[in-house]
Amino acid sequence: MSDRFDPAGFRGPACGFEPIAIGDDPASDAVGGWGASETMSGGAGGAATPATRWHALALCEIANFQSLRRHLGRPRADTLILDLADRMAELEPRVRSVTAGRATAELTFDAESPGEARAVIDALAQIFARSVDLDGERHLLQLVWGMAVAPYGHDDDVRLTEGAESALEQARRDSGIVSLDLSQAHAGFDGAALVRELPRAIAAGQLFLQYQPKVNVRKERVTGAEALVRWHHPVRGLILPGEFINAAEDGGEIVGLTLWTLRQVVADQQVLAAHGHDMPVFINISGVLLADEAFVTEACRIVRETGARIGFEITETAVIRDPDSAIRHLQSFAEIGIPLAIDDYGAGLSSLAYLKQLPASELKIDKMFVMQLTSSNRDPLIVRSTIDLAHALEMEVTAEGVETPAALALLSVMGCDMVQGYLISRPIALDAFIRYLDDEGYKSVATLRPSFGRIENFRRKSA
């Protein structure tokens, strides 16, 4: 890593930064010369049995990034998260760190228990609690942390990511560290109770939307967004979308939830247009709804009467439930100008028979292929062939889960049309999304990378 930080600031002994050692001295609560709030044996979750190992995924966000950018300038601020991620990996060797946005770093590591995982994050947070020297000036990095942990065998990447995102959302409000033990996520979890509470939650304003931009690779600008629903429960806190959406499907409340989402996106899109950002926004449509005549009629009415630029994302498995009804209703959507995207392509039972019948204009490659794009021999072949297939069927291709410059470069070479993921931006609230568009935040990706089409420009230099 190049010395972008002053040696007396981030890297030097003046700050006491040494590799972190957890639990070397049971009587001490010091970690790398700094006090830690928990040691390896402490924290929620306690010690695990020797046979149990835990996988942790943490998101660290620079909360005062906008302020730092005003002081440092955009070019310098846009490299700040790279330095932060590198420095954290140096301080804690077992941590694997990557950038997950302009102001967010993603850390993954293994631990013996949730308590040990929390101790690692506490130690890093303590170290960066002091101001650092950036280009000759002292600045304080106000960091917030969200972490999810799960035991091996139950550490699904999607659940860990959703858990870390939910924890980070809460951490922004609490201005600190929030950790979520996914092994306890279902303890006391009552899906039927959530279904009963959902209509009241909608009326009480407990649900909210976040938006994740989609960037056109060739144009290097945001050309659309995906709306993602969240629920902040007054007692349970943030509930993972997979949990309450599944409960809504099982309990018959998915119609109300989706229509609320549709109406809220219409309202938010009007706000976006008023700020000069008129673009299509996509929402996810459950497979259950593709067989619901009343829902299809109401959704078409809302879009037709408002003139909103709304797109629908559906999965392949949604069509398999009831192919005839699903395809007929998808045709109804397409006839009134609603663009359709096939979501999570490749994650289910991909069927060319259904694919050629769907009136879709976009295919989204599942993140499980994209996230391993530069470390797998087979995934690049699958992604490239999928892009070629979609183009042959006159569909645009969006790659989900783009988190590294190398993946972006390779996707560009392969001819991928759009990208979506933490490298561009995490899901953010409407006001933050408007600021992101106003500030042209997506251009920071291009600023750090001289050419979208040259892979060599995406490789990080070693220290």
Q: Which of 50-54, 67-71, 317-321 has the highest mean pLDDT?
A: 67-71
User: DSSP string of 252-290?
Assistant: T-HHHHHHHHHHHHHHHHHHHHHTT----EEEE--GGGG
What's the pLDDT score for residue 43? 38
Average pLDDT estimate for 42-68: 72
Q: How far is CA 403 from CA 106, 200, 368, 373, in A?
A: 9, 37, 12, 10
Q: Which pLDDT does position 463 carry in this prediction? A: 36
> Which of these, 424, 400, 410, lies nearest to 452 by C-alpha position?
410
Q: 81-124: per-residue pLDDT in tens?
A: 888 988 898 999 899 988 887 889 999 999 999 999 999 999 99
- Answer yes or no: are the C-beta atoms of 414 and 370 closer than 8 Å: no
Q: What is the largest CA-CA distance in the chain?
A: 70
pLDDT one-digit tens code per residue, 193-239: 888 899 999 999 999 999 999 999 999 999 999 999 988 888 777 77
Q: Give helix 80-91 / helix 114-127 axis angle, nearest 10°.
A: 120
Per the model's pLDDT, the better-predicted residue between 192 and 403 turns out to be 403
Q: Out of 210-219, 248-257, 444-453, which region has the weakest mean confidence (pLDDT)?
A: 444-453
Nearest Cα residue to 430 out of 273, 275, 268: 268
- Tracing tokens 């979520």 back to the chain, one arrives at 180
Residue 65 scores a pLDDT above 70: yes
- C-alpha–C-alpha distance, residues 280 and 234, integer Å: 32
pLDDT above 90 as % of the chain: 43
User: What is the pLDDT at residue 350?
Assistant: 61
Residue % of the chain over a pLDDT of 70: 81
Q: What is the CA radius of gyration of the chain?
A: 23
User: How much is the pTM?
Assistant: 0.68
Beta strand pairing status for 132-134 and 104-111? Answer: unpaired
Higher per-residue confidence, 192 vs 50: 192
Residue 247: pLDDT over 60:
yes
Question: 310 pLDDT band (50/70/90 cuts)?
Answer: very high
Query: What is the pLDDT at residue 155?
Result: 58
Q: Please report, for residues 154, 164, 165, 445, the alpha-carbon distance to residue 161 in angstroms, rounded to integers and kept in the order given.
A: 13, 5, 6, 22
> Of 22, 137, 23, whose CA–CA distance to 91 is shortest?
22
pLDDT at 414: 96
Q: Which of 137, 121, 80 is nearest to 129 (CA)?
A: 121
List strand residue ranges (DSSP E) for 400-441, in order: 418-419
DSSP 70-112: HHH-HHHHTTHHHHHHHHHHHHSTT-EEEE-SSSEEEEEEEES
| pLDDT score of 214 | 96
Question: If we measure between CA atoms, which residue out of 133, 128, 156, 157 comes closest to residue 144?
Answer: 128
How high is the mean pLDDT of the chain? 81
**Local confidence band at 308 (pLDDT 50, 70, 90 cut-offs):** very high
Question: Could you give the 3-state DSSP secondary structure of residue 369?
Answer: helix
The CA distance from 245 to 136, in Å, is 50
- Report the pLDDT value the prediction gives residue 185, as an integer from 0 to 100: 55
Distance CA 126, CA 123 (A): 5
User: Residue 460's pLDDT is what?
Assistant: 35
pLDDT for residue 307 is more than 60: yes
What residues form DSSP beta bridges with 181? 149
Q: How many CB atoms lie within 10 A of CB 391?
A: 15
pLDDT of residue 223: 95
> CA–CA separation, 339 vs 364, rounded Å?
13
Q: Which amino acid is at 29?
A: D
172-200, pLDDT tens digit by residue? Answer: 877 789 988 887 755 445 677 888 899 99
pLDDT in tens, 260-286: 999 999 999 999 999 999 999 999 999
Q: What is the mean pLDDT of residues 299-315?
A: 95
Q: Which of 388, 392, 337 is nearest to 365 (CA)?
A: 388
Average pLDDT, stretch 329-341?
Answer: 96
First to last CA, the chain: 4
Per-residue pLDDT, 52: 73
Q: Which of 22-26, 240-244, 459-463 has the largest mean confidence?
A: 240-244
pLDDT at 17 over 60: no
419 pLDDT exceeds 80? Answer: yes
Residue 372 pLDDT greater than 70, yes or no: yes
pLDDT of residue 190: 63
Q: What are the tens digits of pLDDT across the range 21-46?
A: 444 333 333 333 233 333 333 333 34
pLDDT higher for 73 or 445? 73
**Residue 351, pLDDT score:** 66
CB 28 within 8 A of CB 123: no
